[in-house]
Structure 1
Amino acid sequence: MKPWIPDALPLSVLDASRLITPLGQAIAALSQYDGLLKGMVNAEVMLSPLTTQEAVLSSRIEGTQATVGDVLESDAGEQFDDAKNDDVEEVLNYRTALRRASREVEERPISLQLIRSLHSVLMDGVRGQDKQPGSFRTEQNWIGPKGCSIDQANFVPPNPMILIEHLEAFEKYIAGDDMDPLIQAAVVHAQFEVIHPFIDGNGRIGRLLIPLFLYCKKRIHAPMFYLSGYLESHRDEYYARLRAVTDRGEWNEWVIFFLRAVTEQANKNIEAASGIYKLYEEMKVAVRDATHSQHSALIVDTIFASPIFRIAGLQNSAEIPAASAHKVVQQLVEAKIVRCIRPGKGRRPGLYVFPRLLNIVEGRDIF
């Protein structure tokens, strides 16, 4: 199989008559979600669990098995066996890259330099750390069954000799305008996957670019629209649509799939964000009434940002005096706001969960 030569951007094959209806639906759904986002005074705190969930799901597409609960327990200081720790570290790196990227695009546009720096964060100290983190590949890679040769590959990305040429064209396309930012976002993601500029980690970086691009094009108020939930639950179609782009030039079909993903994920995000916002407003009153603490506002922010925690973690984040921390947590337990999921034993501290928040994030009762 010969290395693929990416299509020139902007594409000449996009058919506006086929895209107009799904585009309108995606714009409406995303605008409704963004309106909700604008109304949140501290959206980054309230929607922090959704950022963690995005990191989990995007990494799961690549084969990790860590759950949102695993990651939040790790945040609280828990340790696991080597295999789970490896998975959790990959998710944590993705979340770090996502948060760093969100700050970076406040100051500068998306660039090849930014993409390389995010890849370096993504691959730091985890599986793949020996595969040129932060550097575009200088060797030919291919995609196919584990251990297959290039002749058995399903897809062979561009020859490294022409990689920079296509990456520079990609960077120029990101900076410019196309039919609509949502259509352009679909092209950006697929073209990045086709170019496959890194030896490893391409899928995660490509998905990370979606909210950054939509934010830079002012389609969303903050880079907090995450698509991996839909892509993970439709993984086979996701990969098939990307393959059809290179196998049969089915760009319109890919864009339609992407716009449907935006529509359905935006509607799910609206439901989750609305539930989180309502819960946050409720907890401002409930935590104050349960604890009568002058630190109640910080306690609420802390259990939203870290819905699985140890007492010491809550004490530090909410700036509660050490003498009061145990009493405050006990009051939260008695008010059924948090629950102990593992009592302390010996030197091992107890572990607590804010179940209603995680149940909203997961869309089901997990606690």
Structure 2
Amino acid sequence: MTTPPPLLPLPPPVDLETVPVLKALAAANRGLAELKGRAATIPNPRILIDTLTLQEARASSAIENIVTTQDELFRAGLATGSSASAEAKEVARYREVLVLGFERLRARQGVLSNGSLIEMFQRLKQSDAGFRQIPGTVLKNEATGEVVHTPPQDAQEIRDHMTALERFLNDDALCPLDPLIKMALIHHQFETIHPFYDGNGRIGRILNVLYLTRTGLLDLPILYLSRTINQTKDDYYRLLRAVRREGAWEAWVLYLLGAVAETAQVTLGLVEGLRQQMADVKQRLRAELPRIYSQDLLNNLFRHPYTRAAFLASDLGASRITAARYLDRLAERGFVEKLRAGRNTYYIHTRLVRHFVEASGE
């Protein structure tokens, strides 16, 4: 095994405020500011958390060749037992981990700790492992088998590097660079340390969006960043390697800033589509089904593109019989489509699902 190259502390000793970087930075920050403002117009933040984090989970998992359709993904949210595919369960677990990380971030007053990262990894992999203890991890080119990176091997060295990264993440006084530039540095450093035996890519991409909320660039972890990374996967891995081999930090930072700017616009479109659909459905419900209309009912339809009587009963504080009656009324009026699978009945918000399908390019 080759000896790992020395891992330099952050920030690297290069100029990261070049004219191209500053131009890209302005565009990315504008996009995030617009997204943050538009997201604030959605009345219940759980609508965005429950739907957009699922899209991020799907795209990030696809980078690791864990592929699901929108239908499989939404069905996994309904499923009991083992009826969901292994891939859909894996993606759903990623979403759980992203939400867990956001909850820990809020509970710890904006601190992203190594303890939280380990907890997230354990949930993702259904494991009680922590940072790597045993040497032997290398990163290879899947096509050729060539070793492209040998991360730190010694357990104490890994802990030391992660302690330094934890401080860089949370101590804003350490580095005056813009948070988006720092996010690019943090992501590369985490990938280079590769602290876990598996799942580093997915945890690292969750770390991106959590860092945006920690720094206040977003209020909610809703940036659909992995979509753009998945579409440019070859560039993503090539530029990661170029930093290690050539110190090509500017190209890496420009890539991630461009991905943020592009993804902010895509996510903005998803949020705006949700907002418009909510307004339309609200108007129709009030006109056509005024006796059952409530804001909680409306929120349920947009939190759960595939819903069940049990979900609605919980959100309304009503019985399942009442919830089922409401959903049947909604189906009769064309708000949702009623389907049966064995003994189970569920309801699809078809127009909302189509919105996500079109955005994902299926």
| The 10-residue stretch of structure 1 (221-230 or 357-366) with the greater mean CA deviation from structure 2 | 357-366
Q: Which amino acid aligns with 1:93?
A: R
Name the CA distance, whole Å, in 2 between partners of 1:147 and 1:279: 44
Matches within 5 A, 1:44-193: 44-77=46-79, 85-108=85-108, 109-124=111-126, 129=127, 133-145=129-141, 152-160=146-154, 161-177=156-172, 178=175, 179-193=177-191
Normalising by structure 2, we get a TM-score of 0.89
Name the CA distance, whole Å, in 1 between partners of 2:49 and 2:280: 16
CA contact (8 A) 2:61 2:91 kept: yes
Distance 1:206 1:365, change over 3 A: closer
Q: Cα offset for 1:66?
A: 2.1
Name the CA distance, whole Å, in 2 between partners of 1:37 and 1:225: 11
Matches within 5 A, 1:219-298: 219-294=217-292, 296-298=294-296
Normalising by structure 1, we get a TM-score of 0.88
Name the CA distance, whole Å, in 2 between partners of 1:133 and 1:280: 43
Name the CA distance, whole Å, in 1 between partners of 2:242 and 2:53: 30
Distance 1:98 1:339, change over 3 A: same
CA contact (8 A) 1:140 1:157 kept: no
Instruction: Please name the residue that 2:27 is paired with.
Output: 25
Instruction: Please name the residue that 1:38 is paired with.
Output: 40
Deviations 1:247-271 (A, max 9, x none): 2211110000000000000011111
Distance 1:364 1:11, change over 3 A: closer
Q: Which amino acid aligns with 1:155?
A: H
Q: Which amino acid aligns with 1:192?
A: F
CA contact (8 A) 1:40 1:277 kept: yes
CA contact (8 A) 2:270 2:356 kept: yes
Name the CA distance, whole Å, in 2 between partners of 1:336 and 1:294: 15
CA contact (8 A) 2:187 2:205 kept: yes
Q: Cα offset for 1:190?
A: 1.0
Deviations 1:135-159 (A, max 9, x none): 344323011156998xx41211122
Distance 1:298 1:197, change over 3 A: same
Q: Which amino acid aligns with 1:331?
A: R
Alignment length, in residue pairs?
354
Name the CA distance, whole Å, in 1 between partners of 2:359 and 2:115: 40
Deviations 1:149-185 (A, max 9, x none): 8xx4121112225212211211121123331000001
Deviations 1:257-299 (A, max 9, x none): 0000000000111111111112112222323433333453222
CA contact (8 A) 2:53 2:221 kept: no
1:350 is paired with a residue of what secondary structure? strand
CA contact (8 A) 1:359 1:366 kept: no
Name the CA distance, whole Å, in 2 between partners of 1:70 and 1:242: 32
Unaligned runs of at least 5 residues, structure 1? none
1:349 aligns with 2:328: no
Distance 1:365 1:261, change over 3 A: closer
Q: Which amino acid aligns with 1:59?
A: S
Instruction: Please name the residue that 1:307 is paired with.
Output: 305
| The 10-residue stretch of structure 1 (288-297 or 44-53) with the greater mean CA deviation from structure 2 | 288-297
